[in-house]
A and B are shown apart, each in its own frame.
Chain A
Amino acid sequence: MALRRGTLSDLLSPILVKELRQGVRGNVFTGAFLLLQGLMVLTMCVMLMEPSSSQGIAWMFWALLIVAVGVLIPLSGIQAVSSENGLKALEPMLLTKLTARNIVFGKWASLAVQNLVLLVSIAPYFLLRYFLGGLQFTQEFWQVSALIVCAAVVTAITVGLSAFSISVFFRVLLCIPLTNVAALIIGLFATQWSNIGTVTMAAPALAMVMGAFTMLVMLEAGAWQIAPLADRSFAIARAASLLLLLILSLVLGGLHKNVQALVVFWAGGLILLVIVAALCEPQSMIPSAYSRYFGRGFLRRVAGLFLAPGWGSGVLFAIVASVSACFALRSALPELTSPVVLVSTVAQVLLPLVLIPYITFPRLKRAAWYLVIQVASFSAGTIALVGNGIESETLTHAAAWLVPLSPTMGMAIEMDQPELTPLAVDTLSVIVAGAIVVLTVAQASGVLSRTMKMVSRRPYAAPAAATAPAAATPEPADERVANL
């Protein structure tokens, strides 16, 4: 048997080695490579015969590159993890030393490397264009950089989504809004070759930071989907969100208005996704899932309060993230840091958690209920505005009493159109918002305290000897995974 004499490959992740071996023999890569080379040769021939057509050739050159590197390879990631599941290969892999995170990140890395190989393979054509004329070096350098970041981010989105147990159709459907991120990346990089804002490195640097954050969130979400219950954790995405908010609160004020708008839109959407995921994460009752968060060490325990799996710590994380987001945006909207606004924002984020425990029918996923309640809450808060818009006094007065059901709408109306709601409604809005925060924090504290007790009762100590008697009585039925 021709055994592999792995040297360099020993240093790489096993999944990356396997995916690269499989990927470069696959039809997508081979097809993209051959097609790209063929068309590039053709393009160069046209350029040699018609030197005056360099502008048109540049367009064709870029169109080919974008299709191969920005579309074909990233889209092949849409089945990256689900194909493993289809082959029943995920579970045997998870029984090795590979973690769900290793698997998802390895699949992404393999596609990213294949993309880089494609890019390197067209370097000679860049060189040829340089000598033949028609290459705008600085502009095309930034365009290639934007393409690399876009391709990496879109690949992470497709690979992350491929881990969700939904049909390919729904995956593609979800991909469409998420891949708008590519437009945001190009928007930020475009500051280097267009007249948007001042020519500084801040925008591309931010695009790379935001791109890295998007990749991390999507790949972590994918890993969460396939990880065994005891290993599921969204802690890295939560920690990265807090770090990003810190960075944004430091740099956002100094950015050009257009860049600021792009970054706020992009970061806001992603951090909101992480907050919803944190608030909807099931509270597993498996001790090993928490041992690394609530083990020994004060700092570790404090971090665990915000990052440990489950919605209990998710509540504390959501509070910190919402408040940090308000502070990050203070340069654009200084009123966001007033205590009433902060409480209203946090209350709006936490509102569904007060209601979800009392909903028993119909059986929907926690995240679905979260979204339904948020939509209902905003709708209730908007009716008074609609009444005012159509100049119906009766509707406006009646609907004003629904405003407390939407803390942020209540706060917005109070700031923009204070005459729309009576004083009693304003007072009620503040009381409701405060009550939501207090109630949810109390629920979360209870859950966290039970979790910490469970971990301290069963410390993650050295395992018992093979002959040791059976463990203590297990948790009662149906308590291993509890939504609440």
Chain B
Amino acid sequence: MPLAVEVRDLVRRFGTFEAVRGISFEIPAGAVLGFIGANGAGKTTTMRIMATLEEPTSGTVRIAGRDVTEHPTEVRRHIGWMPDAYGAYPHVTVSDYLDFYARAHGLRGETRRRRLSEIVEFTDLGRISDREMTVLSKGESQRLCLGRTLLSDPEILILDEPAAGLDPRARIEFKRLVRLLAESGKTLFISSHILSELEEMCDTLLFIDDGRILHHGSAESLKRGDTQKTIVTVTVAGSPEPLREWAEMSPGVEVVETAAASCRLRLESAEPDFIADRLRAMVGAGVRVVDFRREERRLEDAFVDVLRKVQGNGS
């Protein structure tokens, strides 16, 4: 499969501060990649370099086979960049705004009108096309921004925190649009803080922290990690205190969280025999178990584990 994005040994320094420290990754054409990292991890810098808005200190970034520093104009024709925030122009309506960007992309006459109709239909902006930009809700603004990004029909979409600040309904709508774009064969590069959302939308995830890549692979492989640990939620009748005391005394069991009538426990093995053994021991110790449920590992936990591991190695 041809590569839509190729990043090799990318470094970006601002004075003495190294925002991106030699990262490398590839995105095949048509893939949806989630880009995860804390604030200041180097996400936006990487995305801005990909969008030809910043120059790398060293390393190469190739978009659709073109180097971003050697052929910035060519690269711009292949990408659509949706920044994390954008302001609303006063005295400009939704249709004026889209019309301006369509003209700016060189669309003229009938082609422009056709493209605008397609975009308005796709992003469902028809009802608010005569509304001024300054009175749009966050969800409407994001749909407008996505519409603007799609006007030039780019093959590769770089979306920086597209779902930030959206209410649940707008978020569902946005996810639907992303799914449609992925189905139409576009390559999507999406950064977000909301891990569960990325898990639903993306084929692969790229974790970045302190300018370095910590993980590049599927959400499943990240959740699995390199351990075989399992999380179980045990609900008890009455206080969870006896369960917590038992867990602290038992080998291979660790308390993750305690709630009003339950505990989340981390078992050091996912082997069925080991799990059955621990359950038997728990009941045998007098814990009044009413529910014992094995959990899928959450992406947030996997993320925290990866970070903890890296910080442990660092110290």
Q: Could you tell me which A residues sit within 8 Å of B by CB distance?
A: 1-6, 9-10, 14-15, 17-18, 21-22, 25-26, 86-89, 91-98, 228-231, 286-288, 458, 460, 463-468, 470-471, 474-478, 480-481
Q: Is the CB of A474 within 8 A of B65?
A: no
Which residues does chain A contribute within 8 Å of B4, judged by CB atoms? 466
List 14 contacting pairs A-B, 8 Å CB cutoff, sorted by A. A14-B104, A26-B91, A87-B87, A91-B83, A92-B83, A460-B71, A463-B65, A464-B65, A464-B66, A467-B2, A470-B6, A471-B70, A474-B60, A477-B11
Distance between A378 CB and nearest chain B CB, rounded to angstroms: 33
B231 at the interface (CB under 8 A from A): no
Indicate whether A466 sits within 8 Å of B100 (C-beta atoms), given known contacts A1-B129, A230-B72, A474-B56.
Answer: no
- CA A190 to CA B226, docked complex, whole Å: 84
Which residues does chain A contribute within 8 Å of B66, judged by CB atoms? 463-464
B3 at the interface (CB under 8 A from A): yes
Stretch at the interface among B106-114, B163-171, B297-305: B106-114
Distance between A381 CB and nearest chain B CB, rounded to angstroms: 36
Interface string of B99-130 (1 = CB under 8 A from A): 11101111011001100110010000110011
Which residues does chain B contribute within 8 Å of A2, judged by CB atoms? 95, 129-130
Q: Could you tell me which B residues sit within 8 Å of A by CB distance?
A: 2-4, 6, 8-9, 11, 13, 29, 51-53, 55-60, 62, 64-67, 69-74, 76, 79, 81, 83, 85-92, 95-96, 99-101, 103-106, 108-109, 112-113, 116-117, 120, 125-126, 129-130, 148, 152
Given A288-B70, A470-B60, 9 extra CB contacts under 8 A: A3-B99, A4-B99, A22-B89, A89-B86, A96-B152, A230-B69, A474-B58, A478-B13, A480-B55
Pick from A22, A465, A474: contact of B59, CB under 8 Å: A474
Pick from A10, A96, A231, A467: contact of B108, CB under 8 Å: A10
Which residues does chain B contribute within 8 Å of A92, judged by CB atoms? 81, 83, 86, 101, 148
- CA A483 to CA B227, docked complex, whole Å: 50
Distance between A14 CB and nearest chain B CB, rounded to angstroms: 3
- CA A458 to CA B117, docked complex, whole Å: 42
Distance between A300 CB and nearest chain B CB, rounded to angstroms: 19
- CA A93 to CA B116, docked complex, whole Å: 17
Distance between B84 CB and nearest chain A CB, rounded to angstroms: 9
A-B pairs with lowest CB-CB distance, top 4: A87-B87, A14-B103, A96-B104, A25-B91
Pick from B57, B104, B106: contact of A480, CB under 8 Å: B57
Q: Is the CB of A6 within 8 A of B120?
A: no
Indicate whether A96 sits within 8 Å of B99 (C-beta atoms), given known contacts A22-B92, A463-B65.
Answer: no
Which residues does chain A contribute within 8 Å of B71, judged by CB atoms? 288, 460, 463
- CA A478 to CA B16, docked complex, whole Å: 11
Q: Is the CB of B152 within 8 A of A467?
A: no
Which residues does chain B contribute within 8 Å of A97, judged by CB atoms? 104-106
Q: Is the CB of A6 within 8 A of B89?
A: no
Indicate whether A470 sits within 8 Å of B62 (C-beta atoms), given known contacts A87-B86, A89-B89.
Answer: yes
Q: Is the CB of A88 within 8 A of B79?
A: no
- CA A421 to CA B3, docked complex, whole Å: 72
Which residues does chain A contribute within 8 Å of B67, judged by CB atoms? 471
Q: Is the CB of A22 within 8 A of B83?
A: no
Indicate whether A86 sits within 8 Å of B87 (C-beta atoms), given known contacts A3-B117, A14-B103, A471-B60.
Answer: yes
- CA A481 to CA B8, docked complex, whole Å: 19
- Complex: chain A residue closest to B24, CB-CB: A470
Q: Is the CB of A480 within 8 A of B86?
A: no
Q: Is the CB of B60 within 8 A of A96?
A: no
- CA A154 to CA B103, docked complex, whole Å: 29
Which residues does chain A contribute within 8 Å of B69, judged by CB atoms? 230, 286-288, 474, 480
